[in-house]
Amino acid sequence: MELYSGYINKLIEELAALPGIGNKSAQRLAFHLINMPQDKVNRLANTMIEAKANVRYCKECYTLTDRDICPVCANKNRNHKLIMVVENTRDLAAYEKTGRYEGVYHVLHGAISPMLGIGPGDIKLKELIERLKGDVEEVIIATNSSLEGETTAMYISKMIKPMGIKVTRIASGVPVGGDLEYIDEVTLLRALEGRVEL
């Protein structure tokens, strides 16, 4: 039995198809949208349409932007000889929030995953290698510490090392507030290897 009319059901279905939105959240959002003033609904709809039409990849780092070159790559004060490789634009944003990284990025848009049929040619690796033909001193690999992220990091490292460019991997370890007894062995080992002097 349908609880709501066709338009409401269709709106709930479309919202529920978005990542991280379950059925209850979709219902809440649908009713919120229906109760919003018409001009706000129009502005939201137009913003989504404009973003879809105008957002593209940066020609240098492949993050999402509405310009040919993103603000990070266009910034002359950034160290363009230092490239941090991340899996997606959200990871780039997370590092930018720290306010401490002064280099530039390269966004892969995924990670190598043979189980999912994602190979090196399915992510932005050849574009990374092309960038490294310029004046680059160090590549920091900041992929996730998942099996896919580790596989991607190893693959990138093997590709870059023969080029004579320094390759580093971000340290990973114990989260703030984490109890050591509950942390897995690989994470503990990484925390030990990535230790810094106090």
Q: Which two tokens stand for residue 135?
A: 């004046």
Q: Measure Cα distances from 3 to 34, 59, 94, 110, 166 in Å.
A: 16, 48, 41, 39, 60
* pLDDT given for residue 6 in this prediction: 87
Residue 193's pLDDT is what? 73
Per-residue pLDDT, 180: 63
Please give the mean pLDDT across all residues of the chain.
Answer: 90
Range(s) of the chain covered by CATH 3.40.1360.10:
78-193
User: Tens of pLDDT along 8-51?
Assistant: 999 999 999 999 999 999 999 999 999 999 999 999 999 999 99
**Separation in Å, CA 59 to CA 63, 127, 169:** 9, 10, 25
**What CATH number does the domain located at 78-193 have?**
3.40.1360.10
Question: What pLDDT score was predicted for residue 137?
Answer: 94
Q: Which two tokens stand for residue 144?
A: 């996730």
> Dihedrals φ, ψ of 120, to 5°?
-55, -30
Residue 186: the pLDDT is: 72
Beta bridge partners of 118: 113
* Whole-number Å distance between alpha carbons of 150 and 168: 13
The DSSP secondary structure of 101-164, one letter per residue, reads --EEEEE-SS--BGGGTB-GGGTTHHHHHHHTTSS--EEEE---SSHHHHHHHHHHHHHHGGGT
Closest CA to 106 of 133, 132, 144: 132
How much of the chain exceeds pLDDT 90, in percent? 70
